[in-house]
Structure 1
């Protein structure tokens, strides 16, 4: 009885109602047609690029958002409810199919079962709504369409709209009525220069490291011009003719005022040159960033590796913006090949799935498909591979079900461009990129492109199954199996013990490159004997053309790690990424060739300072150290099952965290002890030991030789005492 009295107490009822209102309001968010905000935002972001002060647009087709969207949801209410309505655009509201007068900002929904429809038009920005009531709230469960297929006959009766395609609404983090999606901006924070050198009418301002943001001039007065030359290097900032980015301003003011530049730029140095009587008291910057939270971490016994990890982290922070971009100075665009690597790094540092899905949607755009992604054949395939990994790491099947039609139309575009032998070959308008490498042939049927298509078809088989399209799944599976057979029938060369680079006029070329061979290793396309052969004939063979970009070093070192060569890869990291640090790099570059000297390192694309000194693909140690040294990787979607396979290489100890959807897996590993703290899901610890390992809380199983396994439960800590196998001992066993 006391319980009933409490429930019917007016004060308690008032408190419960208040709490329900707060809960409904807190879960309400701005919603839109899925993918439209991502396209609109990416259009705005990518069109901020300038070159010597000139607008520099992308090379590919831009899509746009749908300007008219219908939103609806059905509700069953136990009591009448006041609902507030906010919209970006002009709108009307229907309750149970009946239009309400004007554009109401608040409506009363009676008790019972009802449907709310809101139709919004906005040509300039994405049509979006924010609905908030006691229990009614706009969220991803609302359904949306860009064409409702409704019509009204001569009697006033509305048509059947069962042919309308409804999707779940898109959303992000705009969780209050005032947080308008159209006003989306990254946060900024003030930062000061570390050094200023003045010389007559010029000042060279050094911010100490590579950075990104808006230059702010303090106390500007007088009449004259101010020109700002930005430089990732001192040499670039001081070269007025060759600096890639600049700002030119004119002033005529008696009172000292502050001035903030209209566009954010990448720089370490800024060379300010003034004319006339204009004076500037000082210069600072507003650092623009994505405010990402780091969840992954890595520390080890080698301080140089720790430094490489820290600079890789900073490089990745700078290139993580509204989307994952390629580099912060020159392009500032979303390139699919660059973004694919960023997804993988993200899973081991931020685990921010929203930025991954947002970037994939921006890259895909809309139908019809008129060219490859970014016009690059391999970049189209990377888009599919990104979805494969996205599902493996996050388990987000709803994304695949929602966007399967866009996956399918893009894949059908690719399949429609195969030649008579069922192989991909460059057609007019296709850019076959692969890598920046001198003299790399793109003629004929390149093995690398066939391999990427094969993996993309395997992705489509997976996605078709999830989306419930079994006929499609069977067809894509058949295509993938046939192409894999062709890959080995047409490109494997027994004498060279490798996949050759290409076929021209139906015949193998003599050239062997690293690309298809190293991908086939970590995709597990080779049998064990072929892996050993390719390791010797290609990966460890200096006569095969060397790779000089971090972009492809990423995959080369991944292949070597997959073959157990962590000790060798550690030395390569110290040589390659450490080489950049020895030259004073504060972020990692687009390309690094140790044979170059001085300012030669800054040149690319025929320009003295064309190279990006802060490029996303330079941050790959984040991924390599997380996946192949700490050794954590999912083996089923969302880490329902996963392996932890720590490999020290030549390190004495290492420790770190790897983020998952359920929390962070913690690892400590020395030559004598391992300590693993797990999350939800079933883990498998796999390791090598010279002696029989001991774990007091679990059973260690011998798998033969020096290999052992231990099954780990959820949310537990396991301590294993063992004796690590030295790299050279392991190498001999192979």
Structure 2
């Protein structure tokens, strides 16, 4: 059996001291992300039963070749560490065995290493004075070399090489396969007797590993977890639980193997089992707090802080939906998490990991998460990523996967060139009672159109001109159909769907509100949509934070920021008034008591810590602090602050080069930025004044001022 174990080749003492910081573990791009996502998403349990994802799970390539050419300035020794079996070639010549050390001569040297690993991702770490593994190494899972009957090797290769994948594994003993999130000790706030057991309260929703201190005896512990007190005490219907057999003659601390989400834990004992107290190891993704928001409104400040904590909990190895139930990577949920992240931690690495994990491997057999709209959100997320980060290298790496996924989508269009749910397709849109998914749903055509526009933008960025022309043409054709087939001139809105080639009568909010911030509507159409749909209580209301996010964004885009501020305080503030410590998957103010916890036909099926509940972070950063990039990576950007009912607000918005600091009151604006050239927009009753900025008047009460990197500006104005 030894041949199936990992082969870890590493060096100690003096060789390790010589390892350069520039060396890092590398792998085939996307493979570590796929492997890690499989590991994470298969931790889900429901009442102790293993509960895997609904969709196809891919795997890493088991045999990968790595190579790079170097011009070695002097003779040097390199150290080689691999996760898996490997062989080494130098300038095409095979080196005997699996060398842990290798001497290289001065001059041009091509290092080629093949790594095989069935159980984990084939990964490589090479370190020396000048020869180090990095993102610039080329890798392939193919090997199209051949040898003819005379023993002559092929002169040409059809092998496709790509740049290596990597993250932050920068030490030879820090194996990618051993990755775990860090933990820290957290104590419960109370522990009380309840019925035949003990109810432990940690004070707020949290996530980690439960620890029993001084556990001993023989018998069993029954552990029931709850995001609410009712759930923890609902031993027959709570979503997650553990049954633990105990056989200990002496007292020891014991930490459970599987992390769980909870605020309350109810524990019942059988036999003579005893323990002193219960604590937890809080598991978290270490991300620097870069974004910030504070204002004169304490309720709004509390909403921002709870949204921030919700985001912290759902940011794990990847951006997941909710910490209690699924713990899976859903593309629609992740798309919103990316946007919130750009105004909070600006953690580009987790965005990239999540995008790659969602895409998976070829061949493409179904939509991402099996959901049509979630495939389209995946496309949209990539150009957004470029807009905020300016990371062209990632777009270059992921573009072939964009192409193949778009080919899959376009091949599934019907005779009218529209997307319609086929066998195996889940048309989701939103959780809403009675929402029809039949026929050709306008929302899906809208998202496909935006996805095609994204493809054209990325093709242009990468100078793929034929691709750009093709995708641009397809996007324009579909946009024309969107208006021809779905815009109802009588209703002055998009209808929900077509069935058998005819418009249905139903008008829903989804297509209409997305069309606003996609900038697909004329000013006249926008006003009609605002009146007839978004501010019309006769149109079915949205109950999920998931779609409230987009509804409120569309209203912000149309200047209804006072209304949106009231809605944020009412909707998210409504959850806080009910004692929420994190924001929920769904909130209906008409419900009461334990009704709030029900979903999916289960008493405690609803997630009370859901990533899409954290959207005030994005709304406050983009539309009230008013900061957004207008070209890639904040080389140019806009600051358009809006106080609404606030007397003052201040905050930080992260960028690739640091944070934009902003303070706004009714009389003064202070701003300092570390990057690019910004345009500060100012609404003022008289011309603003600034000692070191140039004020330009746009119209009667609107002014602008350029903001340059490294300069602290103060502006006096009259709101």
TM-score normalised according to structure 2 size: 0.97
Residue by residue, what CA displacement relative to the aligned partner does 1:637-685 show, whole Å, maximum 9, x if unpaired? 1111111111111111110010011111111111111111022211111
**Structure 1 residue runs without a partner (length 5+):** 1-19, 725-734
In structure 1, how many angstroms separate the alpha carbons of the residues matched to 2:576 and 2:130? 56
Instruction: Indicate the residue corresponding to 1:74 in structure 2.
Output: 69
Residue of structure 2 in register with 1:721 after alignment: 716
- CA distance, structure 2, for counterparts of residue 702 and residue 528 of structure 1: 23
Match 2:705 to one of 690, 703, 710: 710
Equivalent position SS for 2:20: helix
Q: Helix, strand or coil for the counterpart of 2:142?
A: coil
Does the Cα contact within 8 Å between 1:21 and 1:135 map onto a contact in 2? no
Distance apart, 1:260 and its partner CA: 1.3
Please state whether the residue corresponding to 1:462 is helix, strand or coil: helix
1:275 has 2:280 as partner: no
Could you report, residue by residue, the CA deviation over 1:166-222 in whole angstroms, capped at 9, with x for unpaired residues?
Answer: 111000011101110000100000111100012464110000000000001111111
**Aligned partner (choices 549, 555, 571) of residue 576 of structure 1:** 571
Between the aligned partners of 1:147 and 1:605, the Cα distance in structure 2 is 45
Distance 1:49 1:200 in 2: 29
Deviation (angstroms), 1:716: 1.2
Q: Name the structure 1 match of 2:192.
A: 197
Match of 1:42 among 10, 33, 37: 37
Q: Which residue of 2 aligns with 1:307?
A: 302
Contact 2:145 2:157 in 1 (8 A): no
Change (3 A) 1:57 1:629: same
Cα offset, 1:378, TM superposition: 0.3
8 A Cα contact 2:225 2:232, kept in partner? yes
Q: Distance in 2 between matches of 1:22 and 1:533?
A: 69
Aligned 8 A contact 1:148 1:161 in 2:
no
Q: Which residue of 1 is the match for residue 384 of structure 2?
A: 389
Q: Which moved more, 1:605-614 or 1:685-694?
A: 685-694
Residue correspondences, number: 705
Aligned to 1:343: 338
Distance 2:247 2:207 in 1: 28
Displacement of 1:506 after TM fit? 1.2
Mapped contact 1:201–1:275 kept (Cα < 8 A): no
Q: For structure 1, which segment, 695-704 or 638-647, has the greater mean C-alpha deviation from structure 2 after superposition?
A: 695-704
* Aligned twin of 2:106: 111
CA contact (8 A) 1:24 1:136 kept: no
Match of 2:233 in 1: 238
Q: Structure 1: how far apart are the matches of 2:412 and 2:210?
A: 47
1:153 aligns with 2:174: no
Kept in 1, the 8 Å contact 2:418–2:440? The answer is yes
Give the match's secondary structure for 1:275.
strand
Counterpart check, 1:33 vs 2:28: yes
- Cα distance in 2 for partners of 1:86, 1:21 equals 11
1:21 offset after TM fit, Å?
10
Distance in 2 between residues matched to 1:495 and 1:567, nearest whole Å: 29
Give the distance between the partners of 1:22 and 1:208, measured in 2 at CA: 46
Secondary structure, in 3 states, of the residue corresponding to 2:514?
helix
Deviations 1:338-362 (A, max 9, x none): 0000000000001011100100000
Alignment partner of 2:432: what SS? coil
Residue 207 of structure 2 corresponds to which residue in structure 1? Answer: 212
Q: Which residue of 1 aligns with 2:251?
A: 256
CA RMSD of aligned residues (A): 1.3
**Cα deviation code 1:30-52 (max 9, x no counterpart):** 00000000000000000000001
SS in 2 for 1:680: coil
Gaps of 5+ in 2: 1-14
* Equivalent residues of 2:18, 2:128 under 8 A apart: no
Matched residue, 1:459: 454
Aligned-residue offset at 1:329: 0.2
Equivalent residue number for residue 347 of structure 2? 352
Instruction: Provide the residue aligned with 1:730 in structure 2.
Output: none
Describe the SS at the equivalent of 2:57.
coil
2:406 maps to which residue? 411
Give the 4+ runs in structure 1 shifted more than 6 A: 20-24
TM-score w.r.t. the length of structure 1 is: 0.95
Pairwise CA distance, 1:231: 0.4
Structure 1 equivalent of residue 514 of structure 2: 519
In structure 2, C-alpha distance between the alignment counterparts of 1:523 and 1:689, rounded to whole Å: 29
Equivalent residue runs for 1:436-515 within 5 Å: 436-515=431-510
1:707 is displaced (CA, Å) by: 1.4
| Aligned-pair CA distance for 1:223 | 1.1
